[in-house]
Structure 1
Amino acid sequence: MTEYLVRFVAGGLIVSMFAIVGDMLKPKSFGGLLGAAPSVALATLGIAVVQHGPHYAAAESWTMIYGAVALGCYSVVVCHLLMRFRLGALAATILAFVVWLAVAFGLLTGFGGAA
């Protein structure tokens, strides 16, 4: 229970900090970009360092990087399916999810990680 409370507080503080920085930048859309994912990742890594040590947190950070690369591939595929092939949103996201899974688990398998 304490871990969830720490995550909640740390995530909230970091989200607030990123929102303030994002609000100062132009264009204003950076606020949303910086709001959630980086702050949750930092809070998770901070807790991992405290609970399991830096080596565990380093492995966890690599899996976050693999997920981010897979998300980038997913986004490109969704854009192509929506714009070039005129697929519906549901069909495009389901097909691109297969790409996300393949890339994420391919990177995890190829480069190692805690799966």
Structure 2
Amino acid sequence: MTEYIVRFLVGGAVVSAFAMLGDLLRPKSFAGLFAAAPSVALATLGIAVYQHGPGYATLQTHAMIAGAIALAAYSVVVCHVLVRARMRALLATVLSLAIWLIVAFGLLTFAGGQA
């Protein structure tokens, strides 16, 4: 229970800091980019280092990086499918999930991760 309280407090503080940073940048669309994902990742990694040590946090960091790269690949594929194939959004996103899975697990496998 204490872990969740700490995660909530640290995550909230870091979300606020990143939101302020995003508010200072132009265009304003960057505010959402900086508000959520980096702050939650930092809070989670801080707790992982504290509870399990740096080795465990390193594995988690590799998984987060693989997920971020896979998300970028997924996003590019969805955009191209929506524009070029004129597919409906739901169908394009569901079909493109295969790209995310292949890239994420492929990166973890080739990088010697836990996949």
Shift of 1:29: 1.1
Partner of 1:66: 66
Matches within 5 A, 1:1-115: 1-115=1-115
Q: Which runs of 5+ in 2 are unaligned?
A: none
**How many angstroms does 1:30 deviate by?**
1.2
Matched to 1:36, the amino acid is A
User: How much does 1:26 deviate?
Assistant: 1.1
Whether the aligned pair in 2 keeps the contact of 1:60 and 1:114 (CA below 8 Å) is: no
Residues in 1 aligned to 2:73 and 2:103: alpha-carbon distance in whole angstroms: 8
Query: What is the percentage of aligned positions where both structures have the same residue?
Result: 65
Tell me the distance in 1 between the aligned counterparts of 2:7 and 2:69: 24
Runs of 4+ in 1 over 3 A off after TM superposition: none
TM score, norm. by length of structure 2:
0.97
Equivalenced residues, count: 115
Q: What's the offset of the Cα at 1:114? A: 2.8
Tell me which amino acid in the other structure corresponds to 1:67: G
Any unmatched runs of 5+ in structure 1? none
Amino acid corresponding to residue 5 of structure 1 in structure 2: I
Q: CA deviation at 1:64?
A: 0.3
